[in-house]
Amino acid sequence: MALITLEDTPLPQEISAVVLEEPFQLKYTKIPMWPLESFNDLNLLLVKVEVCGVCGSDFRYYQGENPWSQHTLGIHLDNPPNIVLGHEFAGIVVAVLGEENRKWLGKRVVPICSKVCGICEYCTTKRAHLCENTIHLGHGQGWGDLSYYPGAYAEYVPAWGSGCYEIPEKVSYEDAAMMDVLAVCTHAYFRANHNSELPLLIMGAGPIGNGIAQVARINGVKEEKIIILERNEMAIRIAEKVGLQKIINTANKDIAELKDEIYKISKRKIFSIFDGIGSDFSFDLGMKLLDKGGTYVNLAVHNQKIRNLNQMQLSSERNITTSSNFSISAYEHAWKWLQAGEFILDPWYSMVSLAKIPTIFEEIIKNKQEKPFFKLIISLSNIK
Ligand SMILES: [Zn+2]
Ligand SMILES: [Zn+2]
C-alpha cells in the first residue's frame, strides 16, 4: 500500500495536534504524521483540516466519559490514552491510498467521521448507525491499539473515501463542518415522526436543540409551534437570531410554572419532545406534557434510573425513545438542506486557533466557567 499524494504538497513527518493524554490532560503538541498505510484500509485518505467544530461530547471525553458507548452500546467503555479529539471537520484531500480514491485528491470535502462494519446484524438490517464495530474519529472507538487515536483537532486527519462529500463552492468550510451536528439533529427529528401541524418542545437550545428547531422549520413546522426551553442567555439570543420565536427562559422556574407557560403557547399537549438535558426534572416535565401517540426523544442518555415513571404515563401509545448518531439517510437530507441554504448557522460560530484549545477546556471544566461561546470552531489556516 503506497500513499498517492498531490504533486505540489509534500507531507510533513510531524503535525500539530491537541491530544487528550488522559482525562483532564489535554495538550497542544507535535505528533507523528498518521501512518495511513499501517491502518490496513485502502479506503482511507488523508485530509488537511481547514476547520473542526468543538462538540459538547468533546467536553465529556475530556472528563473521562464515553458518550459514544453510552449512546450506542448502552455501557460505559473506558477511553484509551492519547486521543486526538475532533469529529466535526472539513478540509482538502491531500493523499489517498487506493486508486479508487484518486478522484478525491485536491477536493474540498466533508467526511463522515465514522465507518461501520457493513456485515453485522445491525449493518445488514438498516440499523448501521447502531453498529458495535464502528471505527470512529475523535475518540478511540474501533481502532485497536494505537500510539495516537485519530481525530481532527490536528493539521491532518485520516478519513474514509466512502463517506466523503464534496463541498460545493458556495458552501463554507465552517458550514460543511456542521454536517455531523445537523445530521444528528435531522436523525433525532425523524425519530419522533413528528406531525408538522402539531406543537413540539425542545429542552435545551445549544447547537443540537437549535439545529432540531431548524430541521423542524425546514420540515414545515411553523415557528409559533416550536417551543424552546433554555436558561443560558447566549443560547436564547442565538435562538432568536436564527428566527425562533417561542423561547421560554427556564431560570428559577419550577415544573408547574414551566408547564403553565408552555400550555399558554401550545394550548394543548405536545406531540414531540426533544430532551437535550436528560435529567429527572426534564423527564418529569416531558411526561406531564406528552400528548397521546406522541414521542419523547432523549438525546442525553445518562447512567441513571428514571425516577417516578408510572406505566400509565405510557398509555395511549406514547413513545419514549432515544436518538443515537445518525442514519445515512438523515445525513443526506441534512446535506441537501445545507447546500440549499436552508440552515441559518452564522450566528452560531466563534473561531479559535488549535493552540488555545487546552486552555479553553481547562477554564470551562476545571474552573467551571460558563462557556463564552455557542459553537466553537477551530480554524487551522486562518487563525494562528
Ligand atoms: Zn459532535
Ligand atoms: Zn456493523
Ligand 2 centre from 163 Cα, in Å? 15
Distance of CA 178 from the midpoint of ligand 1 (Å): 9
pTM: 0.95
* Cα 180 to Cα 112: distance, rounded to the nearest angstrom: 7
Q: Which three cell numbers stand for residue 229?
A: 426551553
Closest CA to 282 of 310, 301, 263, 303: 301
Q: What is the per-residue DSSP string for 131-178? A: -TT-EETTS-TT--S-SSB--SSBSEEEEEGGGEEEPPTTS-HHHHHT
Number of Cβ atoms within 10 Å of the Cβ of 264: 10
Instruction: Say whether pLDDT at 382 is over 90.
Output: no
Q: Which residues fall inside 5 Å of ion ligand 2, going by CB?
A: 116-117, 120, 123, 131, 133
* CA 138 – ligand 1 centroid, Å: 9
What lies within 8 Å, CB to CB, of 251 at 6+ separation is 231
Q: How far apart are the CA of 327 and the centre of ligand 2, in A?
A: 13
- CA distance linking residue 35 with residue 50, whole number of Å: 20
Measured at the CA of 11, the angle between CA 8 and CA 14, to 5 degrees, comes to 155
Name residue 203's amino acid: M
pLDDT number for residue 383:
62
CA of 233 to the centre of ligand 1 (A): 22
Residue 363 DSSP code:
I
88 CA distance to ligand 1 middle (Å): 6
pLDDT tens by residue, 205-236: 999 999 999 999 999 999 999 999 999 999 99
* Rounded CA separation 21/258 (Å): 42
Q: What pLDDT digit, counting tens, does each position of 321-335 carry?
A: 999 999 999 999 999
- Please provide the DSSP assignment of 207-257 as one string: HHHHHHHHHHHHTT--GGGEEEEE--HHHHHHHHHTT--EEEE-TT--HHH
Q: Which ligand has the shortest distance to the CA of 126?
A: 2
Q: What is the pLDDT of residues 177-212, one digit of tens each?
A: 999 999 999 999 999 999 999 999 999 999 999 999
| pLDDT above 90: residue 2 | no
Tell me what pLDDT residue 18 has. Answer: 98
* pLDDT beyond 70 at 22: yes
Q: Helices 280-289 and 255-266 meet at what angle, rounded to 10?
A: 40
Domains, in order of start, for the chain: 4-178+345-379 (3.90.180.10), 191-322 (3.40.50.720)
Contact between 238 and 247 (Cβ < 8 Å)? no
Once rounded to an integer, what is the mean pLDDT over residues 95-110?
A: 95
Angle made by CA atoms 213, 215, 219, in degrees to the nearest 5: 115
Sign, CA dihedral 158-167-132-96, equals negative
Q: Which ligand is nearest to the CA of 139?
A: 1
Ligand nearest to the CA of 134: 2
